[in-house]
Chains A and B, each alone.
Chain A
Amino acid sequence: MTMETFDLAILGGGPGGYVAALHAAQLGARVVLIEKARVGGTCLNVGCIPTKALHASAEFYRDARVKSAALGVDIPNAVVNWAQMQKHKQDTVDQLVRGVEQLLSAKKVTLWRGEGRFLSPHRLQVVGASETRQVEAPRIIIATGAASAALPVPGANFSGVITSTEALSLERVPEKLVIVGAGVIGIEFASLYRALGAQVTVLEMLPRILVGTDEELARRLLQLLRRAGIDIQLNVQVLAIEESQPLTVRYSDAKGEHTAPGDYVLVATGRVPVTRGTGIDTLGIAMNRRAIAVNERMETNVEGVYAIGDVIGGWMLAHVASAEGKVAAENALGKAGAIDYRAVPNCVYSMPELASVGMTEADARAAQIPIKVGKFPFSANARALSFRETDGLVKIVAHAETDVILGMHILGPRATDLIAEGALAVQAGVNAREVGHLIHAHPTLPEAVMEAALDVTGEMIHYQRVRVGA
Chain B
Amino acid sequence: MEFLETSVDKFVFRVARDYRYNDADVWAKREGARVRIGLTDFLQQKSGDVAFVNLKEIGTELGVNDELAALETIKVDLVIPAPLAGKIVAVNDALADHPELVNSDCYGAGWLVEIEPANIADYDALLDAETYLPQMQARAELEREK
Chain A residues within 8 Å of B, Cβ to Cβ: 216, 220, 223, 226-227, 375, 377, 379-380, 390-391, 393, 463-470
Contacts and interface: CB of A to CB of B under 8 A. Distances in A.
Interface of B: 22-26, 43, 47, 51-52, 54, 65, 67, 72-81, 96-97
Given A466-B47, A466-B77, A470-B24, 19 more contacts: A223-B52, A226-B97, A227-B97, A377-B77, A380-B74, A390-B51, A393-B72, A463-B75, A463-B76, A463-B77, A464-B75, A464-B76, A466-B78, A468-B24, A468-B25, A468-B78, A469-B22, A469-B65, A469-B81
Choose among A390, A391, A463 the residue with the greatest number of B CB atoms under 10 Å from its CB: A463
A375 B77 contact: yes
Contact of B81 (A216, A226, A380, A467): A467
A424 B78 CA distance: 32
A402 B76 CA distance: 27
Contacts of A223: 52, 96-97
A391 B23 CA distance: 32
10 contacts: A220-B52, A227-B97, A377-B51, A377-B52, A377-B77, A379-B51, A390-B51, A466-B76, A466-B79, A469-B81
A216 B96 CA distance: 12
Contacts of B67: 467
Contact of A468 (B73, B74, B75, B80): B80
A224 to B, nearest CB: 10
Contact of B74 (A216, A226, A379, A469): A379
Contacts of B97: 223, 226-227
Nearest to A376: B77
Contacts of A463: 75-77
Q: Which of A216, A390, A464 has the most CB of B within 10 A?
A: A464
A430 B37 CA distance: 42
Contacts of A375: 77
Contacts of B96: 223, 226
A424 to B, nearest CB: 27
A467 B67 CA distance: 9
Contact of A469 (B25, B47, B51, B73): B25
A464 B81 CA distance: 16
Nearest to A222: B96
Contacts of B23: 469
Contacts of A390: 51
Nearest to B49: A379
Contacts of B26: 468-469
Contacts of B74: 379-380
A384 to B, nearest CB: 11
> Would you call the interface of chain B mostly helix, strand, loop, or mixed?
strand
Contacts, number: 56
A470 B75 CA distance: 17
Main secondary structure of the interface of A (DSSP, over half): mixed
A468 B81 contact: yes
Contact of A465 (B22, B43, B77): B77
Which 7 pairs of residues, A with B, have the shortest CB-CB distance?
A469-B24, A467-B79, A468-B24, A465-B77, A464-B76, A466-B76, A379-B74
A468 B52 contact: no
B75 A377 contact: no
B43 A468 contact: yes
B51 A465 contact: no
A318 to B, nearest CB: 32
Contacts of B22: 469
Nearest to B80: A468
A96 to B, nearest CB: 38
Among B25, B67, B74, B77, chain A packs the most CB atoms within 10 A around the CB of B77
Contacts of B25: 468-469
Contact of B76 (A226, A227, A465): A465
Contacts of B47: 466
A282 to B, nearest CB: 53
Contacts of A391: 51
B79 A465 contact: yes
Q: Which of B23, B25, B26, B52 has the most CB of A within 10 A?
A: B52
Contacts of B79: 465-468
Question: Most chain-B CB neighbours within 10 Å: which of A227, A390, A468, A469?
Answer: A468
A425 B143 CA distance: 41
Contacts of A379: 51, 72-74
A316 B109 CA distance: 44
Contacts of A380: 74-75
Contacts of A216: 54
A376 to B, nearest CB: 9
Nearest to B73: A379
Contacts of B75: 380, 463-464
Contacts of A220: 52
B140 to A, nearest CB: 14
B91 to A, nearest CB: 13
A269 to B, nearest CB: 26
Contacts of B73: 379
A227 B75 CA distance: 22
A37 B142 CA distance: 72
Q: Which of B47, B51, B80 has the most CB of A within 10 A?
A: B51
The winner among A377, A379, A465, A469 for most chain B CB atoms within 10 A is A469
B85 to A, nearest CB: 15
A47 B80 CA distance: 45
A377 B81 contact: no
